[in-house]
Structure 1
Amino acid sequence: MATLRFLLKGNNNPSTIYARFRHGRNIDFIKSTTLVINPKYWNKPKGTVKQVAEFVDKKNLQNDLNALRTTILNSFNDHYSNGGIINSDWFSQTIKQHFNQDSKTDLNYLLDYAKYYKENLNSKVLVSGKTGVTANTLNRYKTIINKVKAFESKQKKRYTFENVDLRFYKDFKNYLLNVEKLSLNTVGRYINYIKTICIDAEKYGIKINRAVLSGEFRATKEKVNFITLSETEIQTIFEHDFSKTPYLENARNWLIVGVWTGARVSDLLQFTSNNINNGFIEYTAKKTDQKIILPLHPHIKEILLNNDNQFPREISAQRFNDYIKTVCKDAGLKQLVYGSKQKKIKKKVWRKTKGEYPKHELVSTHICRRSFATNHYGKLPTPVIMAVTGHTTERMFLNYVGKTAKDNANVLNDFWNVQEQKKQNKTPQLNVIKNQTA
């Protein structure tokens, strides 16, 4: 008698649900259904989804499993009664056809699994307990899939996970650097995506090349020369008269709000009067879901006062990015500085090119957040700044503001010099002698 049972392998969250089909002594197949679940919602003895209130998708997932069961058993009855071959390929194809998956998909291949991995990111349960990822994360994996596809096309080869070795690492890295003309940091990010996909595949029983876990299969890095606005420059921009160009005045005001809040542009440009509470700005960061509270800087207070207690007019991130370059140019930030600027290298392809450029040309929306962090570093306790920027570790924060061990040593040296100077300038204590009275 044919039987079908669903099961999990391991306790990873999420875990893939497998289907086990048995018939007689010689037929015993186990295949992934591609459906996933948090193990705490799985009834192991019964091989079903626990119907508990806290799992909102319980009915849908169980219905999917029930429908798959019906498809498999009906397919078996049709094949078996007509003398068809019942083997592992039949079982695998039946599952794929049920979910309308491409019959050519083979998850042992890097590109196929990368697509599968991306498609399931929206159901991925993160460490925080939140389900799903941001649109930016999905776009990043879409990009790496396209890079792998282009690389395989150039190599005229499809790579299985066992092919992802140090030779792959070298060839893929050289392709991204020399053909795609990407920076070392961007290449390093793509290398890390490849490692993430490989590690995930291994969790679900796919054999990978162990070289991907070695120290040699590492991300490339280079020091980033980022641009910030000093407090003097911020004051200059704040005082500059943009009254004849209202759209630049509006962008300037958003820039000022940004450098004194350290908010990401995705949060910054969404500020309204509803975010103000008793002299504080309160908001929840979209990227990290962190609640952030900070006082109103005097510059922000003045902008609100001159605008009926409202934040500047709504503006898109792209226009804000474009306009603040002109804002900084009109305010006189034209000195040559070293940095990276987007340049067109061929049709529809832009890449960052290093060199010396007028400072205003290197200004982008991210200057708000970096300026806040760098201008307050060393003046406020680092945890206070991190509470505003949303960095979860001091290491991440120091890397963000570009501080090195030498920078920290200089801060300590300056502190000791100030303390020593206070000792040397200490006023001698005078004893008051009471005059005698006649």
Structure 2
Amino acid sequence: MATINFLYRSTKDKADLNLRLLFRLSDKDFVLGSKTKLEVSKEYWSKQHNQKRPKEISIANKQLEINQELLKIENHILSAFNSEDALNVSKEWLNLQMDLYYNPKAKDKAIPKSLVEYIDFYITYRKHELKDNSIKRCNVIKNKLMRFQEYRNKLILIKEVNDKFKNDFVDYLKSENYAQNTIQRDVVFIKTFCKHARFLGLETHPQLDTLKVDKQKVPKTYLSFNELALIEKANSLPDHLDNARDWLLISCYVGQRVSDFMRFTKEMIRVEEGKHLIEFTQKKTGKLMTVPLHEKVIEILNKRNGEFPRAISDQKYNDYIKDLCKDAELFNKVHGSKLVEVGEDSGKFRKEFKDYEKWELVSSHIGRRSFATNFYGKIPTTYLIYITGHSTETQFLQYIGKSNKDLAMEISKYF
């Protein structure tokens, strides 16, 4: 026996109701959640929805409208639950049923069996979940697969994505001068598309789950505290580089992505117990963050009468901080990669790995990595992970390039 509850779980004045499915299996209680697309106000749900015989006709009509929709959703979910083996019921299953409720024709639509076509289907199917950057990556991979299809003159079927396909695809991308880690990421995405197709009932190859491409270890470029001091001391800078320098220093002490810190304003700051905190919502994750401001950031704000530097485009920021680090004489050679054009006027750019002067490898992401690397061992890793937003400590350590040997040396300090 399963039951359905509807909840208002948002802090906003208006929000979509949450659905909760409760059932018992083998003496164990399960609670699964999903979202509806039924928007109500917090005031209505908390004060008016459960009124008995409301005097206001508008409230009575609203109750009727809402209750009819909730009943339809409840009947749809419970009907699907009763037709399914409870062992197969999961959060993913519940989200699928909600999607089928709002897109019933999807049941009748033929699901594409070719990989290239399926990517468009995948983007449409998950349109409410995918971020713009994820959609962009999906389309980039789709274009590569289209060129690969043309190269081998054969349609790529989802059920044929096996070890031979992987090897042929990797060989093709290498012939096109793509970097090893780009290839590895593309194969991971392709597996994601195929696993999603399998979830919807399409046939996939038995080898799919074991497909793997090794990652190439790439040095993690960051700015040390000594290098940040050199950047800070650079003088006689034009206004645009001084502005970029302040953003770079801020990024190295708050550990956030450029899409977040470039939106900082003084209105986001509050002071509690003498500590300056900045509160914002991460653009990529949608996570509400409260981060303490380092004294270096406070110095920059004081220099600018409490204001953050002027916001500039990502492209200008990338260009300016390269010029800035060149002015700061960061000429030491480090191994890394940057995009270079393959052939004169080819319009094709690929990553090239070799030794570069450090200023050449500086980009907008270096602030977040510098923060994580510089403060590792100085601030508890749990706190660093909270600020950077990594899901696990393993993911965080990979991000800053810590090897098993590095960890062993860290542990040895306690012996």
How far did 1:241 drift? 1.3
Runs of 4+ in structure 1 over 3 Å off = 11-14, 39-42, 44-47, 60-65
Q: Distance in 2 between matches of 1:398 and 1:186?
A: 20
Asked if 1:381 is matched to 2:377, the reply is no
Q: Cα RMSD over matched residues?
A: 2.9
Q: 1:282 aligns with which of 279, 292, 302?
A: 279
Alignment map for 1:276-315 (pairs within 5 Å):
276-278=269-271, 279-315=276-312
Q: CA deviation at 1:175?
A: 0.9
Q: CA deviation at 1:292?
A: 2.3
Correspondence for 1:394: 393
Q: Distance in 1 between matches of 2:322 and 2:234?
A: 14
Q: Which residue of 2 aligns with 1:251?
A: 244
- State the AA in 2 paired with 1:264: R
Contact 2:243 2:309 in 1 (8 A): yes
Identity of aligned residues (%): 35
* Corresponding position of 1:336: 333
Corresponding position of 1:230: 224
Instruction: Tell me if the contact between 1:187 and 1:220 (Cα under 8 Å) persists in the aligned partners.
Output: no
Q: 2:124 aligns with which of 119, 122, 139?
A: 119
> What amino acid is the match of 1:307?
R
Give the Cα separation in 2 of the matches to 1:168 and 1:185.
18
RCO (CA 8 Å, sep 6+): is it higher in 1 or 2? Answer: 2
Give the SS at the match of 1:113: helix
Give the count of matched residue pairs: 328
Query: Given the superposition, is the C-alpha separation of residues 268 and 63 from structure 1 closer, same or farther in structure 2, using an over 3 Å criterion?
Result: closer
- Unaligned 5+ segments in structure 1 are 1-10, 15-38, 48-57, 70-91, 97-104, 124-131, 417-438
Output the CA distance in 1 between the equivalents of 2:103 and 2:379: 55
Q: Please report how far the alpha carbon of residue 415 of structure 1 lies from its aligned counterpart in structure 2 after TM superposition.
A: 4.1
Q: Over residues 223-254 of structure 1, what are the superposed CA-to-partner deviations in whole Å (9 max), with x where a residue is unaligned?
A: 011211010111111122144x0000000000
TM-score (norm 1): 0.70
One-letter amino acid of the counterpart of residue 231, structure 1: F
Query: Which structure is larger by alpha-carbon Rg, 1 or 2?
Result: 1
Q: Distance in 1 between matches of 2:74 and 2:365?
A: 42
Q: Could you say what secondary structure the match of 1:337 adopts?
A: strand
1:412 Cα deviation after fit: 2.2
Cα deviation code 1:50-105 (max 9, x no counterpart): xxxxxxxx9x987975xx69xxxxxxxxxxxxxxxxxxxxxx9xx66xxxxxxxx8
Conserved? CA contact 1:110–1:160, under 8 Å: yes
- After TM superposition, list the pairs within 5 Å mapping 1:35-434 onto structure 2: 43=76, 107-123=112-128, 132-179=129-176, 181-213=177-209, 215=210, 217-243=211-237, 245-278=238-271, 279-346=276-343, 347-416=346-415
Cα contact 1:343–1:352 (8 A) shared by 2: yes
Name the aligned partner's letter for residue 202 of structure 1.
R
Q: Could you tell me whether the CA contact under 8 Å between 1:242 and 1:248 is conserved in 2?
A: no
Structure 1 residues 331 and 106, CA, compared in 2 at 3 Å: closer, same or farther?
same
Unaligned runs of 5+ in 2: 1-31, 36-71, 81-96
Distance in 1 of aligned mates of 2:153 and 2:180 = 25
Contact 1:108 1:161 in 2 (8 A): yes
How far does residue 219 in structure 1 lie from its aligned partner after superposition?
2.8
Q: Which residue of 2 aligns with 1:431?
A: none
CA distance in 2, matches of 1:224, 1:234: 22
Is 1:121–1:133's contact at 8 Å kept on the other side of the alignment?
Answer: yes
